[in-house]
Structure 1
Amino acid sequence: MNGRAAAPAAGTVLNALANGYGSAFAIDAYTEATVELDASGPVTGKVAGAPDADTRLVERCVEMVVDRFGDGEGGHVRTESDVPMASGLKSSSAAANATVLATLDALDALEAIDREDACRLGVEAARDAGVTVTGAFDDASASMLGGVTVTDNAEDELLRRDEPDWDVLVYTPEERSFSADADVSRCERVAPTADVVRDLALDGDYERAMGVNGFAFCAALGFPSEPVVEAMPDCAASLSGTGPSYTAVGDRAALEELEGTWSEREGHTWLTTTQQTGATTR
């Protein structure tokens, strides 16, 4: 009873910590999960290249899928990723989505649940595991469905989805920032600005939404806003998640020029694209 799936990372349009509404877009970088189930017993997990990593999320994903569609199976889940953990690029959501799909694949139950509800299983597991403050339905939906999504995270409701064909520049510093440790009270202080970002995103004006979100959450979370300013006016950029990564979208030539500026900082800068199809079995 084996299954395997991959889910893309994502960048932020609107951080949901301020007002409960979020927006994110899938990018062409992946986390892959391999699930091996047996007759009974505990579920164990492993993250490739990170023997001390917290595996509660992916283990809980397997348990929840088995509880709903299985017959008490135990087993093992292993993830490996192109996406650095705790970097603001939705590595947890990608891991959860890949694990949920891989477990459904192992149980031959992929047709028993639609993609949105499969995504909600991973969100519920993330809440149970304590790795998210908001539930991260925005991040999870973008990773599971592909494209860009706008969500009400309080209701786990998908409000809008589009498939923009963007080139994307990503800058990831060496530091790490866990979303569960974010200062929620400071983020809530920028809720009036986040409401503006929500309205822009619901109107499909994602680029302007990213810029406003970037300034608001750099200030709230204590990250420099210079990368957002450097992207303007030819690109739109934002802090991704609770940092420390930044993402920018725009014309390829403009992003290549911006890459020269961002790459002067310590860390890793790379060009990619949006991803439209979301998570898939392998």
Structure 2
Amino acid sequence: MDGHGRAVAPAAGTVLNALATGRGAAFAIDLETTATVDLDGSGEYRGEVADAPDADTALVERCAELAVVEWGDGEGATVRTESEVPMAAGLKSSSAAANATVLATADALGVDPDPLSACRIGVKAARDAGVTVTGAFDDASASMLGGVTVTDNDRDELLAHEPVDWNVLVWWPDARSFSADADVERCRRVAPLADLVTDLALDGRYGEAMTVNGFAFCSALGYPTDPLLEGMPDVDGISLSGTGPSYVAVGTTDALESLAEHWNDRDGTTWHTTTRTDGTRTT
């Protein structure tokens, strides 16, 4: 153990938003957050975000603190993160930062933890820091394990996990939406549709699940459905990601290139990427 650790974690897109029923599903995508952790013996925890000196660092500080409680001896640490993932865009930037921080702290302590145990530490930290309503175990597990996961967020239980190899298109507008600010009561009104999405996801029909989820949660959260309609019927699946404002689509290269022509006309950023199967890892 040299007191220094580094880890990278992928972002994720949504198959099922967990706000309606507590069950969710997500898939890892090839956008990364990197965390470096240096133990300093201070007993205190400090966070820094590259290119964002005023960013809230409570989540990563709590992640490092809980990881030290689990595997260390009160060392204290400095956490530095840098990310390709836009913040508060629905692409699971918080889950990626939490996973990367927990594994980087474990690396600094010379520990190789069970991935789901490490994931649950990050989820607890997210709840403690108030950045999530559900705990986001769906998002966190997809980022930690790679592939697609289906989860019970009320119990932090993994219901299904499958590697997937998809082409992905992401569009995020020039706006932010914080998950903790979502209107949970409106989301609960679409619970019957969320139950249908759960059944589809557990049956491996992820594209259909995404699309039903997209229309349900655009309605519940007040986002336009036009970005969804622009991809249909050619894409395999398309959805609002998280609580927005980003949208994600999966499908053939031709279908996604056609959709990108529409999304490129909108203000914001359109990004071609792929799914990830390797999840969070130390480097």
Tell me which interval the TM-score lies in, with the shorter structure as reference length: over 0.9
Among the aligned pairs, what percent are the same residue?
69
User: What residue in structure 2 maps to residue 262 of structure 1?
Assistant: 263
User: What residue in structure 2 maps to residue 199 of structure 1?
Assistant: 199
The 5 Å alignment of 1:49-198 reads: 49-110=51-112, 113-198=113-198
User: What residue in structure 2 maps to residue 225 of structure 1?
Assistant: 225
Q: Distance in 2 between matches of 1:269 and 1:65?
A: 35
Structure 2 letter corresponding to 1:42: E
User: What residue in structure 2 maps to residue 239 of structure 1?
Assistant: 240
Q: Distance in 2 between matches of 1:114 and 1:69?
A: 12
Q: Distance in 1 between matches of 2:147 and 2:117?
A: 17
SS of the residue corresponding to residue 231 of structure 1 reads coil
Q: Distance in 2 between matches of 1:260 and 1:186?
A: 32
Name the TM-score, length of structure 2 as normaliser. Answer: 0.98
Q: Distance in 2 between matches of 1:156 and 1:70?
A: 24
What per-residue deviation string (whole Å, max 9, x for no partner) do you get for residues 101-156 of structure 1?
0000000011xx31011100000000010000000000000000000000000010
Q: Distance in 2 between matches of 1:12 and 1:114?
A: 24
In structure 1, the gaps of 5 or more residues are none
What per-residue deviation string (whole Å, max 9, x for no partner) do you get for residues 3-51 of structure 1?
0000000000000000000000000000000000012331000111111
User: What residue in structure 2 maps to residue 248 of structure 1?
Assistant: 249
Name the TM-score, length of structure 1 as normaliser. Answer: 0.98
Structure 2 letter corresponding to 1:3: G
Q: Distance in 2 between matches of 1:270 and 1:56?
A: 29
| Deviation (angstroms), 1:234 | 1.1
SS of the residue corresponding to residue 85 of structure 2 reads coil
Q: Distance in 2 between matches of 1:60 and 1:40?
A: 15
Aligned residues: 280
SS of the residue corresponding to residue 220 of structure 2 reads helix
Aligned match for 1:19, one of 11, 18, 21: 21
Structure 1 letter corresponding to 2:153: N
Q: Distance in 2 between matches of 1:165 and 1:42?
A: 41
Structure 2 letter corresponding to 1:95: A
| Deviation (angstroms), 1:59 | 0.1
In structure 2, the gaps of 5 or more residues are none
Q: Distance in 2 between matches of 1:269 and 1:178?
A: 20
| Deviation (angstroms), 1:68 | 1.1
User: What residue in structure 2 maps to residue 211 of structure 1?
Assistant: 211
Q: Establish whether residue 278 from structure 1 lines up as the match of residue 279 from structure 2.
A: yes
| Deviation (angstroms), 1:80 | 0.2
SS of the residue corresponding to residue 151 of structure 2 reads strand
Q: Distance in 2 between matches of 1:243 and 1:39?
A: 40
Q: Distance in 2 between matches of 1:134 and 1:74?
A: 28
Over aligned residues, Cα RMSD in angstroms?
0.6
Q: Distance in 1 between matches of 2:271 and 2:73?
A: 44
SS of the residue corresponding to residue 230 of structure 2 reads helix
Q: Distance in 2 between matches of 1:38 and 1:70?
A: 12
Q: Distance in 1 between matches of 2:38 and 2:282?
A: 14
Q: Distance in 2 between matches of 1:185 and 1:54?
A: 27
